[in-house]
Amino acid sequence: MSILQRRLFLLALTLLAFAWRVIRLDFQSLWRDEVDAVYFAVRPLQETLSMFVQAAQNGPLYFIGLRPWFALAGATEFALRFPSAMAGTVSVLFVWHVGRRLLPPAPPEQTPVPAPWLSVAAVGALLFALNPYQVWYGQEGKMYATVTLLALLAGWLWLRGVEDGGWRYWTGYLVAVSTAMYVHLLMVLLIPLHILWFAIAWPLARRRWRGYGLALAGLTLPYLPMVWWQWMMLTSSEKLSGFSFTPLDAVLRSLALSHARGFVTTTPLFWLAPVYFLLGAGALFGATVIGGRFSVQSPSLSPLRRVSLLLSWLLAPIALIYLISLRQPVFTERYVIWIGPAAMLCMALGLRVLMNNSGRSALFLAAILLIYVLGLWGYLGWQQKTLVIKFDLRSAIQYVHAHRRPDDLLILQIPHQEWAYRYYTGGFGSDPFVGGDERLGRWGRGPYTNWGRPDDVEWAEVDRYMRKMTAGANEIWVLLSEASMWDNRRLMDRWLQTHAALEEQRTFPGVTVQRYRLSQTQVQP
């Protein structure tokens, strides 16, 4: 591929990735974590800055970065998600850069090279651009597309530092990893991953031990504020994380499905077989189709070591988060989203294995598989853009706000919907929560009943709580979403059904709106 062809390819790929992430960017309603991102960004700056030293507070740098952006662009759904779309777009280019650096093609005399322009790096970047899981988080107002970009940047800088040397690469690596840790706290896993890389790259890496050692020493400073509370979490005998433990087989299954199909969970499993076939072919035989970056000044890593670096990037973060979860459960799929580029490059290796086999049939099969996967992922990506997948808080809240009278009581179950209500009834300016108290009017938090106490004890508490909250009310609006997190036995529903008449119920995806008329002759506080 000539320089001009390469530039045209990268330009076209960048435009494709950007367009695919921006189209229908604001179609899905914000879910509660995205509303949190808006709140953390616009609240008093001192409160957000305090997250740097508070235990288990995630992503302060991401929220601080949103603050000036909201001041410029407003806090609309589109504005919130646009930085993720940009991060996802730039990540496509870094997949190409990392692929070129980590997985260079084998020399022509070693193996036939059909379609030399369709390199592992190019195919990996193309797959990443259309992967529905990556596209989904490239359209979400959270930090997960950003941490993927930072992981790619850190990996590229590490490779440049080990192969080429130079203080600027190790300084950049130090900055990239430090930034990643304060965008998402579990990005600290980059440190043990790259230590493993250093061991795999030995003895070549030995020549760079001083630069890498200084970068590791520098990482201790930004990590210090996290040490004390992370140590307390790991050594505590109590469950402190708020997550449930996930067995390893379930971890692997959920990650394999998510990265292959995104969020359209109705996808038949046999449709995904080509994805796993290419992944397996790349993992098993990828070393046969890559070479090294030979120069007099810089000896290269062997193909086997390069594939080992790729597979450790794919698997080590999963193993590490599972080991942590044995002490304190912390696994959720998006926390290791940054293994996605390794999976795409491994699939690209598998495609290259097929292409490098002699015979037209192998080349034809490779072309069919590539077209199939890109078509499948394009279809699933479009489904994600046109099906309501996230809880539709937007429609439910706007319906309630349009029909509720000022003196009607509003009950939010779960209470965290308060911020979604403030957001979706505001003006989407630089601080959409301004005036939220007036828009909420009379409201109350649904009772928390998941203490594990006996039903009769909990029912008595709910009865006391509800009588006090509804005193003097006539009409009651109830907004239910993820209610089992707060009231698994639905005792509040039982109380309302006992003491009030259900006059209206509307169902939105993931949200139920109810309107009750309370009988004041039966209910006294």
User: Which residues have a Cβ under 8 Å from the Cβ of 289 and sit 6 or more positions away?
Assistant: 105, 106, 111, 120, 349, 352, 353, 356
Q: What is the mean pLDDT of residues 319-347?
A: 94
The 3-class SS string of 61-121 reads HHHHHHHHHHHHHCCCHHHHHHHHHHHHHHHHHHHHHHHHHHCCECCCCCCCCCCCCCCHH
Q: What is the mean pLDDT of residues 398-424?
A: 94
pLDDT of residue 213: 93
CATH architecture of the domain 393-518 equals: 3-Layer(aba) Sandwich (3.40)
Q: What is the mean pLDDT of residues 378-389?
A: 96
pLDDT of residue 188: 92
Mean pLDDT for all residues in the chain: 91
Tell me which amino acid residue 511 is.
Answer: V
Q: What is the mean pLDDT of residues 412-440?
A: 92
CA 476 to chain centre: 37
Q: Which tens digit of pLDDT belongs to each residue from 189-210? A: 999 999 999 999 988 888 888 9
pLDDT of residue 296: 39
Which helix (H) or strand (E) element contains residue 410? strand 409-413
Q: pTM of the entire structure?
A: 0.93
Which helix (H) or strand (E) element contains residue 478? strand 475-480
Q: Please name the residue that has the structure tokens 């998600």.
A: 81
Q: Is 80 exceeded by the pLDDT of residue 108? A: no
Q: How confident is the model at residue 56 (pLDDT cuts 50, 70, 90)?
A: low
Q: How confident is the model at residue 300 (pLDDT cuts 50, 70, 90)?
A: confident
Measure the CA dihedral 59/64/67/73, to 10°: -70
Q: Where in the chain is the domain with CATH 3.40.50?
A: 393-518
Tell me which amino acid residue 184 is.
Answer: H
pLDDT of residue 22: 98
